[in-house]
């Protein structure tokens, strides 16, 4: 991992202070230009970039021009630290900027500069809401420079996607652009040579090249880079084709669920919590064989019956409504554990999705057969030029370098931070934890301070909402079920006495502004009701307060029955249990002495291993398919 000293040295090696001064020296020139002269200056820069590349002087001139346009159009002038952040992005690195430091505005400097050189730019973020918001918010900057802006969101038809990707700058999500890439690979098929594609234009009325969505993978700025490049990298991206289900398939799933219901934990099967897998024990195998000996069909084959029952056990014990998925309008919809959002049109493979649909009494969707797959690691390494920005990269800087060849540079804050981290509170049971949270929220509410409470699941957020309602504490709820008023809920979360309960949806890309007078009360207070498996996610939540020099406080109120402690820290759980039985609760001083954070580090190591295994398997598949004449 890159240490703090070497990170600062990198900024100096990039000529940080000198570069900022150079940008400032063009300020008077840019301020005197009218709208047409700005377009003319942008055109001159296009020619310079294409002739001479990204020289320091012309990059500084471009940044100064973009800064002036942003000041006029948005009333927002890029801070010096944002100039540094954009310089880092232009050098193909990860810019670690604290939450609230204006990464969205920072990206416009690098994106517009690269687009002026004629290079297509993708600005990639974590959800449709942010992609749409940022494109609309920043669009006037690009248009004033003669650049076009496109947006890719879920549900767009191919023609609209093709048009959006044809723009100079395209805002999109990681899932949409990666799946569009796979769709293009399917269209190209095995024979995708440049000569072959050009010949098709001569004799084919609808050549494959005209059906492609993307122009290629040139330059990408990945917002929330740790979420996209690290957290999302545990799951491969698979495009599948539907196949008709057999009429007896529901009966097969129902039988599997019935057989699973007769099996007992620790006698017939065990749950390996860390890897989230079910392992059927020898006694369970024998019981299963005896129960299906009179059945025919799939139950007559050992491998098939064991796999079906294993899937049924997973559906019952590992996949919980309100945590891993929601049932909405008769459909099972997967929840993204890192963003707290529903992932439309996504499904689990190998029949697991259909098993859960039967479990929930939903109509069975079509089984899917994989047509193309790729991991995020391999996909993003295919960009000719890659950069990223996030508020939480230091814990994974080593992996970002080893997998993507992306060095990380920490950018200083524009104003000194005033966020205060309070001691964590740890209780023996979840009931005690929830009671303590409600008491604490009531105290803060009576003081007039706004409170944001983060939960790890929809189920937990709704449980807390019920407890607050019982205590007659007015509050706003934001989770995967409640998304219609998301922007309004977040915009008002800094008002006096406001209580907001939210899943990870409030953890990234949102800016909570304080109502006048709230700073004097201490600012926004953030409570984490569970520690996440990655420390970075906790830092993202806590980063909702104390932004841009505002005051703010944060804390974690957790219990020994929380998932992280149960799965990853059995020894710490026992020792803390003894302390809590004597004291009622434990503060962070006790936590530090017992190294409870080792639980998070253990989870992070496991997820790192999973990502490495996925990349290794993906590269192996790529080699094998390439040998047979296919790829992706």
- Provide DSSP, 32-45: T--HHHHHHHHHHH
Tokens of 213: 């969505």
Instruction: Write the DSSP symbol of residue 364.
Output: P
Least reliable range by pLDDT among 180-189, 215-224, 229-238: 229-238
Q: Is the pLDDT of residue 438 over 90?
A: yes
Q: What is the pLDDT of residue 485?
A: 75
Residues 143 and 168: beta-carbon distance below 8 Å: no
Shared fold status for 4-237+376-410 and 418-596:
yes
Q: Where are the alpha helices (DSSP H) in 366-497?
A: 376-380, 397-404, 430-447, 458-470, 486-491
Tokens of 242: 């539907």
| Mean pLDDT estimate for the chain | 85
Comparison of pLDDT for 466 and 329, the residue scoring more: 466
Class of domain 4-237+376-410: alpha beta
User: Whole-prediction pTM value?
Assistant: 0.82
Across the range 293-297, mean pLDDT stands at: 83
Nearest to 552 by CA among 494, 475, 480, 483: 494
Whole-angstrom distance, CA of residue 232 vs CA of residue 175? 9
Whole-angstrom distance, CA of residue 242 vs CA of residue 247? 15
Taking the domains of the chain in order of start, what are their residue ranges? 4-237+376-410, 245-365, 418-596
Across the range 602-627, mean pLDDT stands at: 69
pLDDT band per the 50, 70, 90 thresholds, residue 586 = low
Who's near 507: CB < 8 A, 6+ residues apart?
339, 340, 454, 537, 540, 541, 544
Whole-angstrom distance, CA of residue 130 vs CA of residue 509? 7
Q: What is the pLDDT of residue 557?
A: 94
Who's near 367: CB < 8 A, 6+ residues apart?
242, 243, 245, 249, 351, 354
Structurally, at CATH architecture level, domain 245-365 sits in Alpha-Beta Complex (3.90)
Q: What is the pLDDT of residue 277?
A: 86
pLDDT band per the 50, 70, 90 thresholds, residue 528 = very high
Tokens of 113: 């500069």
Whole-angstrom distance, CA of residue 10 vs CA of residue 88? 9
CA 182 to chain centre: 20
Cα atoms in the 13 Å half-sphere on the side-chain side of 148: 10
Please name the fold of domain 418-596: Rossmann fold (3.40.50)
Across the range 397-422, mean pLDDT stands at: 91
pLDDT tens, 542-565? Answer: 988 998 889 999 999 998 888 887
User: Please, is 470 exposed, middle or buried when counting C-beta atoms within 10 Å of its C-beta (0-12, 13-18, 19+)?
Assistant: exposed
């Amino acid at each position: 991992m890159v240490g703090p000293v070497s990170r600062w040295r990198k900024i100096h090696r990039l000529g940080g202070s000198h570069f900022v001064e150079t940008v400032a020296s063009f300020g008077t020139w840019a301020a005197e230009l009218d709208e047409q002269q700005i377009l003319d200056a942008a055109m001159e820069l296009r020619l310079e970039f294409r002739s001479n590349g990204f020289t320091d002087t012309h990059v500084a001139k471009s940044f100064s021009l973009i800064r002036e346009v942003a000041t006029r159009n948005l009333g927002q002038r890029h801070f010096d630290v944002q100039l540094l952040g954009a310089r880092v992005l232009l050098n193909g690195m990860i810019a670690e900027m604290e939450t609230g430091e204006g990464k969205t505005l920072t990206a416009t400097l690098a994106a517009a500069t690269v687009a002026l050189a004629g290079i297509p730019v993708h600005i990639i973020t974590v959800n449709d809401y942010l992609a749409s918001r940022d494109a609309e918010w920043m669009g006037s900057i690009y248009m004033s420079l003669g650049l076009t802006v496109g947006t890719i969101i879920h549900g767009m038809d191919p023609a609209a996607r093709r048009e959006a990707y044809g723009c100079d700058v395209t805002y999109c999500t990681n899932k949409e652009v990666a799946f569009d890439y796979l769709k293009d690979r399917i269209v190209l098929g095995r024979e995708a040579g440049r000569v072959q594609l050009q010949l098709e234009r001569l004799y084919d009325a609808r050549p494959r090249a005209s059906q492609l969505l993307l122009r290629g993978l040139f330059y990408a700025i990945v917002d929330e880079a740790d979420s996209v490049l690290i957290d999302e990298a545990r799951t491969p991206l698979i495009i599948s084709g539907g196949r008709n289900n057999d009429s007896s398939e529901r009966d097969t799933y129902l039988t599997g669920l019935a057989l699973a219901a007769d099996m007992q934990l620790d006698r017939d099967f065990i749950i390996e919590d860390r890897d989230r897998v079910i392992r059927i024990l020898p006694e369970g195998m024998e019981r299963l064989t005896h129960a299906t000996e009179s059945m025919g069909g799939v139950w007559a084959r050992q491998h098939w019956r064991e796999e079906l029952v294993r899937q049924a056990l997973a559906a019952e014990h590992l996949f919980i409504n309100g945590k891993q998925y929601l049932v909405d309008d008769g459909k099972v919809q997967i929840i993204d554990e890192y963003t707290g959002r529903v992932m439309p049109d996504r499904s689990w493979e190998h029949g697991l999705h259909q098993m859960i649909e039967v479990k929930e009494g939903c109509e069975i969707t079509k089984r899917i057969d994989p047509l193309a797959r790729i991991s995020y690691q391999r996909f993003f390494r295919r960009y000719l030029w890659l950069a990223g920005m996030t508020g939480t990269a230091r814990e994974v800087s080593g992996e970002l370098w080893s997998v993507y060849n992306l060095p990380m540079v920490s950018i200083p804050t524009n104003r000194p931070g005033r966020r205060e981290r309070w001691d964590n509170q740890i209780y023996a049971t979840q009931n005690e934890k929830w009671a303590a949270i409600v008491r604490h929220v009531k105290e803060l509410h009576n003081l007039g301070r706004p409170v944001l409470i983060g939960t790890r699941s929809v189920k937990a957020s709704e449980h807390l909402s019920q407890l607050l309602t019982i205590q007659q504490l007015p509050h706003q709820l934001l989770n995967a079920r409640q998304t219609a008023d998301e922007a309004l809920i977040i915009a008002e979360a800094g008002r006096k006495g406001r209580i907001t309960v939210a899943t990870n949806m409030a953890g990234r890309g949102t800016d909570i502004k304080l109502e006048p007078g709230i700073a004097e009360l201490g600012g926004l207070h953030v409570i984490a009701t569970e520690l996440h498996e990655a420390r970075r996610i906790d830092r993202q939540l806590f980063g909702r307060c104390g932004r841009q020099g505002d005051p703010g406080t944060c804390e974690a109120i957790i219990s020994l029955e929380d998932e992280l402690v149960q799965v990853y820290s059995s020894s710490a759980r026992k020792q803390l249990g003894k302390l809590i039985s004597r004291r009622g609760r434990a503060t962070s001083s006790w936590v530090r002495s017992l190294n409870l954070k080792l639980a998070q580090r253990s989870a992070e190591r496991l997820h790192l291993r999973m990502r490495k295994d996925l990349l290794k398997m993906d590269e192996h598949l790529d080699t094998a398919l390439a040998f047979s004449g296919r790829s992706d």
